[in-house]
Chain A
Amino acid sequence: KPEGTANAATPQAGNGAGESDGGTTNNGPNGGSEKRCERASSVSRDGETPKPVIAVSTVVPARAAPVPAAVPEVSAPHDRQTLLAVLQFLRQSNLREAEEALRREARLLEEAVAGSGAPGEADGTGAEAASALLSRVTASAPGPAAPDPPSTGASGVVTVSGSASGTAAPGKVGSVAVEDQPDVSAVLSAYNQQGDPAMYEEYYSGLKHFIECSLDCHRAELSQLFYPLFVHMYLELVYNQHENEAKSFFEKFHGDQECYYQDDLRVLSSLTKKEHMKGNETMLDFRTSKFVLRISRDSYQLLKRHLQEKQNNQIWNIVQEHLYIDIFDGMPRSKQQIDAMVGSLAGEAKREANKSKVFFGLLKEPEIEVPLDDEDEEGENEEGKPKKKKPKKDSIGSKSKKQDPNAPPQNRIPLPELKDSDKLDKIMNMKETTKRVRLGPDCLPSICFYTFLNAYQGLTAVDVTDDSSLIAGGFADSTVRVWSVTPKKLRSVKQAADLSLIDKESDDVLERIMDEKTASELKILYGHSGPVYGASFSPDRNYLLSSSEDGTVRLWSLQTFTCLVGYKGHNYPVWDTQFSPYGYYFVSGGHDRVARLWATDHYQPLRIFAGHLADVNCTRFHPNSNYVATGSADRTVRLWDVLNGNCVRIFTGHKGPIHSLTFSPNGRFLATGATDGRVLLWDIGHGLMVGELKGHTDTVCSLRFSRDGEILASGSMDNTVRLWDAIKAFEDLETDDFTTATGHINLPENSQELLLGTYMTKSTPVVHLHFTRRNLVLAAGAYSPQ
């Protein structure tokens, strides 16, 4: 039993689906959950279905990770307030059942709700409630299954979650609440203090003067204050309807801000009325989340003393209420060090956010006997061979092959068992591997370019199967098109009537079921009603996922070329989706600012990863399938634990929305690309930025490591493919204890040395990159005339 049961499912505010599913945690084949699986599944995977982890634990403020030991004192009251606000919202919207359920789970008393937001019941109660709550969940896990007849239990659960999630996507609950409910907005917004608006400029310039006159070593650190203070002071002025003061304040000081905040400033400058603040998500984020600054103790003391001396309460209040100052001991950081890490919408990540352990190692590959004869034998031969039937690999199975010390336990999350066809494919893969080109600075890969002609600027997503036999394109005209790039044409399975005529015992039954008449190079999949922004093949090449503007993710069969399931949940455009490297699970992320983890046979998500402050632009699975990385328009990258839904890493440093992600094949590193054209490299284990690759002049749309991880290829809207020396980039990392502890990094300025080549396309943005099993680069994009 994975430890997930224990710390899963802390019902948190705004997550209707969460607590309902929490009731039936993953306790294997008990009546209730089994039943639900069946009801939910539209795609059944012939009995091998791994038991899904149903418990969903998520959170609106995701940093309050509900691990009992580590409930941070600070965030507890905040959560509690949010919880109260949501309860109130639910009550006003007449969502009784959801409210009941939430209250029951949170064990909040009626009075507590009535006296909403009473700060008296501070930290102690909150923390206590949280931990009590966890114990309750654990206790109640077998609960619903036992007393209730399974069917009613299941239907009850479904209703609750349905009504709650029907209201709004969880990520949006906050904003909806603020728009409609004055009292909720009072809870959430804190711009009530009234200073003299005329003094704001003075306060700010006073602080500016102080920082500019401080010692060099402190100046860089304290300068971090400018931006958040500027924004909050401006918003305060706007909120309190001092329009003219706000304007002149903006005029006077917006030039001081770092250039990478330009986009935010543009949004800000257009916002001049209190009414505009409603429903403006960017502003909401500024108010509801604390901007995180990392400052050394010395600098902080300096600041504190200055503000107290000057009696500068206005600024002090903002610092207290809206900023989170992460104080560290030791030398102040240099300007360069700071610049590398800042730039995200909500400041840097707190240090403790990146402290939890991440199992970044790879899972042990099942042992499959590779036929030793080197000749290319027929597929039938292999099929006939008795394969070593591995007994279910259990946790003790680390005898023959060395287990990666950083790898998660093999069954940390349940994975589908290998089918015979998967094993065949693995054998093929291994054979190809022996023929793989070893790449390096002296041996660069060849690049093949797949050009989509006549796409009329409509190509929005591309994926290539692992064996490079199929290529799929998502288009702005809502279609998904699948091409075979080998001479083997695409064929559908015959109609049911014809299938019944086939001799099922014959050896070539798999061949016979295919309808020769349907053979063609291209199949078009119709079903979406908006541009298709993401596409992903399943590892076994039987399925294709596509995500679209219409808010759905669709699962297509590549046997019949029809749509099997439409996964609804995002309700807003879904920007990206990807299959797990082991199949069965997939992740999607969209405009609703959450990423969701799904299993193909469940129509509802298994996990909701909430915490990003803006759209989730791209989603990728870790090679060991235990983690999911998401890149967002809030300029952060987050790593989520699939097991418990916690956010385990927050990477800041990008200066623009992130549009591409990729893990290194060994699972240790992550590369991310953003609209600013920079590619950043991250060490997952230590939670540190380890490299910066500058060169592209436009959005980096695609990133991919070579099969052995020696080379990183990046494709961009600037119509180039660039190859980078990954080995060298990761060679001598500064991962000593000090760096790890403080998170201070010194990045070498070596992009030019790492750049191995720049390859121009013919006026074609590079949408997708792929390394074949023999390390040939396949790039894809649509020709776009000027």
Chain B
Amino acid sequence: MSEREERRFVEIPRESIRLMAESTGLELSDEVAALLAEDVCYRLREATQNSSQFMKHTKRRKLTVEDFNRALRWSSVEAVCGYGSQEALPLRPAREGELYFPEDREVNLVELALATNIPKGCAETAVRVHVSYLDGKGNLAPQGSVPSAVSSLTDDLLKYYQQVTRAVLGDDPQLMKIALQDLQTNSKIAALLPYFVYVVSGVKSVSHDLEQLHRLLQVARSLVRNPHLCLGPYVRSLVGSVLYCVLEPLAASINPLNDHWTLRDGAALLLSHIFWTHGDLVSGLYQQILLSLQKVLADPVRPLCSHYGAVVGLHALGWKAVERVLYPHLSTYWTNLQAVLDDYSVSNAQVKADGHKVYGAILVAVERLLKMKAQAAESRRGGPGVRGCRRPDDLPWDSLLLQESPSGAGTEPGFGSGLLLPPGSVGPEDPSPSVTLADIYRLYAFFGDSLATRFGTGQPAPTAPRPPGDKKEPAAATDSVRKMPQLTASAMVSPQGDDTRDVFQRSRFAPRGAPHFRFIKFQTAFPAPHGPSPASRYVEKLPMWALSDNSLYLPL
């Protein structure tokens, strides 16, 4: 026993002490190091002992870094910062020697501090009451003290689980709706969370069945939206399942009749939703997602539908993701895609159709990037007056989306809010865009007119007023054929000159003063990049385009 006791203590070898001293520029003799090592060990034990008192009073069984820091503070020692994360710190070995150090990622504080879209990952604390035992009688079996095996769940929870899964995967759409609704609001299913997450991860086994995939995604969506659930460690698993739907060459997509595109769009939106609302629970989630998307995009062997997923995924994550991943990759990717698109053989017909899908997706993503860049450039130029009314485009989008979401709710209830998010990453918060506007010009090398036309034409939208400057664009639309490597950006620089358009009825979007946006470079190309012009509305709705056949302006 004594030995075990001993081993439970921290022992810091004198070598470590000496190394630490060296790092601060001190040379220690053996003797001093030994003495110091012993004292350090004792002090550590003492602090640990003291910290346990804080743990006990917080009614926890797990000692946290916080407890330890409190103990240090009360013994007048400076607290150790930077170890508060819930996750274990990965230790990296140094190249030479047996030296390990915790990985220290750099965090852009400016970005964090100025972020306006504070993720609300943490649900509000709430109290719920329920009668556990009536007259001292009740289920005397253990009530799921350790939710690790189904057997430890109570009967009622188990029943609930069975009913809900049956309802969600069953035939009755009404029942399914109710079940999903309940999953979204029920406050007592925390113990079941791991099971539902497991169910969602079943996407990997039903990749042949689009319908099932859709439903599982909806389960995931309901879970994410439930304000009472703390997803915590399960975020990763959910993201994995959703990414699967976005990226994998699903078995269902072999049949061209299957509309797996919608599934991918929906999954991409859900992905961005999870990321924005729960991304703070898992550090490095963003990087991870980007990495996996990039990997798919960079892999020419992957089928086009995977590429499509990657592009819509990036698009859903915001224009910065597009800028970071898609943009630098575009030139190489383009050649491949073009090869596909230029192959008119019959055998290639299906692939070519897919290629057009990808093309469309890229187009939309790039277009948005371009617009944001232009806008950022514009607002910088515009000085403080414009800056004050940050993100000129957000407001209209939001309001439009809010208006629209009910109408679309029937089939795709989740999409409205997904769209709210990308604008958050946008605009003047980004003080130094890594890619300048001029660079973005190069995009025209790829898209040429089609980019311009897409900005200009849009759908005939009966509800929204057409901006006055929109008149000439339909003409451009007529010749909007795929003109890939057309190097003439000049085609779009057109007469308007510096027509400062106060384009539309700003009064609708109340309190933003009277900012004036000047589009000097792109004026002709974007008649209405800001505000509720049909075009921008269309762009925002974009990831859903595959729903309706006529919504995608593809030069086929």
Binding site for B on A (CB under 8 A): 251, 254-255, 266-267, 269-273, 275-276, 280, 443-460, 471, 473, 475-476, 481, 483, 485, 522, 530-531, 533, 549, 572-573, 575, 591, 615, 617, 633, 657, 659, 675, 698-699, 701, 717, 719, 723, 756-763, 765, 767, 779-780, 783-786
A533 and B56 CA atoms in complex are apart in Å by 10
Contact partner of B129 (CB less than 8 A), chosen from A273, A448, A758, is: A448
Verify if B410 is at the interface (C-beta below 8 Å from A): no
A266-B5 CB under 8 A given contacts A453-B125, A471-B127: yes
- What mask results when residues 54 to 71 of chain B are scored 1 for a CB within 8 Å of chain A, else 0? 101111110000100010
A591-B53 CB under 8 A given contacts A447-B136, A723-B136: yes
Q: Is the CB of A448 within 8 A of B132?
A: yes
Q: Is the CB of A444 within 8 A of B137?
A: yes
Q: Is the CB of B46 within 8 A of A447?
A: no
**Which residues of A lie under 8 Å from residue B125 when comparing CB positions?**
452-456, 473, 475, 481
A761 and B139 CA atoms in complex are apart in Å by 11
Q: Is the CB of A531 within 8 A of B131?
A: no
A448-B123 CB under 8 A given contacts A273-B39, A454-B228, A531-B58: no
Q: Is the CB of A446 within 8 A of B129?
A: no
Q: Is the CB of B135 within 8 A of A443?
A: yes
Contact partner of A485 (CB less than 8 A), chosen from B129, B132, B154, is: B129
**Which residues of B lie under 8 Å from residue A757 when comparing CB positions?**
133, 136, 140
- What mask results when residues 189 to 225 of chain B are scored 1 for a CB within 8 Å of chain A, else 0? 0110100000000000000000000000000000000
Nearest Cβ on chain B to A702's Cβ, whole angstroms: 10
Q: For residue B70, which residue of chain A has the nearest CB? A: A549
A767 and B61 CA atoms in complex are apart in Å by 13
| 23 A-B pairs (CB sep. < 8 Å) | A270-B46, A272-B42, A276-B39, A448-B131, A451-B130, A452-B127, A453-B125, A454-B124, A454-B126, A455-B125, A456-B122, A456-B125, A533-B58, A549-B54, A573-B57, A615-B53, A719-B145, A759-B136, A759-B140, A760-B143, A784-B60, A785-B147, A785-B190
A453-B228 CB under 8 A given contacts A270-B45, A762-B191: yes
A701 and B66 CA atoms in complex are apart in Å by 21
Q: For residue A441, which residue of chain B has the nearest CB? A: B136
Q: Is the CB of B145 within 8 A of A760?
A: yes
A533-B53 CB under 8 A given contacts A270-B9, A759-B138, A762-B191: no
Given contacts A447-B138, A476-B66, A785-B230, 16 further A-B contacts (CB under 8 A): A445-B135, A447-B136, A453-B123, A453-B128, A454-B230, A485-B127, A531-B57, A591-B53, A699-B59, A717-B61, A759-B138, A759-B140, A761-B145, A780-B127, A786-B147, A786-B148
Q: For residue A250, which residue of chain B has the nearest CB? A: B2
A573-B74 CB under 8 A given contacts A269-B5, A659-B56, A786-B147: yes
Q: For residue A442, which residue of chain B has the nearest CB? A: B136
Nearest Cβ on chain A to B363's Cβ, whole angstroms: 42
Nearest Cβ on chain B to A767's Cβ, whole angstroms: 6
**Which residues of A lie under 8 Å from residue B147 when comparing CB positions?**
763, 785-786
Q: Is the CB of A765 within 8 A of B143?
A: no
Verify if B346 is at the interface (C-beta below 8 Å from A): no
Verify if B1 is at the interface (C-beta below 8 Å from A): yes
Verify if B469 is at the interface (C-beta below 8 Å from A): no
A367 and B53 CA atoms in complex are apart in Å by 45
Verify if B93 is at the interface (C-beta below 8 Å from A): no
Nearest Cβ on chain B to A534's Cβ, whole angstroms: 9
Q: For residue B6, which residue of chain A has the nearest CB? A: A269
Nearest Cβ on chain A to B281's Cβ, whole angstroms: 11
A717 and B228 CA atoms in complex are apart in Å by 23
Q: Is the CB of B146 within 8 A of A786?
A: yes
Q: Is the CB of A447 within 8 A of B133?
A: yes
**Which residues of B lie under 8 Å from residue A483 when comparing CB positions?**
127
Nearest Cβ on chain B to A675's Cβ, whole angstroms: 7
A272 and B146 CA atoms in complex are apart in Å by 41
**Which residues of B lie under 8 Å from residue A779 when comparing CB positions?**
132
Q: For residue B45, which residue of chain A has the nearest CB? A: A270
**Which residues of A lie under 8 Å from residue B193 when comparing CB positions?**
785
Tell me the chain B residues, 216-260 only, with Cβ under 8 Å from chain A.
228, 230, 232
Q: Is the CB of A454 within 8 A of B133?
A: no
**Which residues of A lie under 8 Å from residue B66 when comparing CB positions?**
476
**Which residues of A lie under 8 Å from residue B137 when comparing CB positions?**
444
Q: For residue A452, which residue of chain B has the nearest CB? A: B127
Verify if B38 is at the interface (C-beta below 8 Å from A): yes
Contact partner of A460 (CB less than 8 A), chosen from B57, B70, B135, B144, is: B57
**Which residues of B lie under 8 Å from residue A458 when comparing CB positions?**
58
**Which residues of A lie under 8 Å from residue B191 when comparing CB positions?**
762-763
Nearest Cβ on chain A to B7's Cβ, whole angstroms: 12
Q: Is the CB of A783 within 8 A of B190?
A: yes
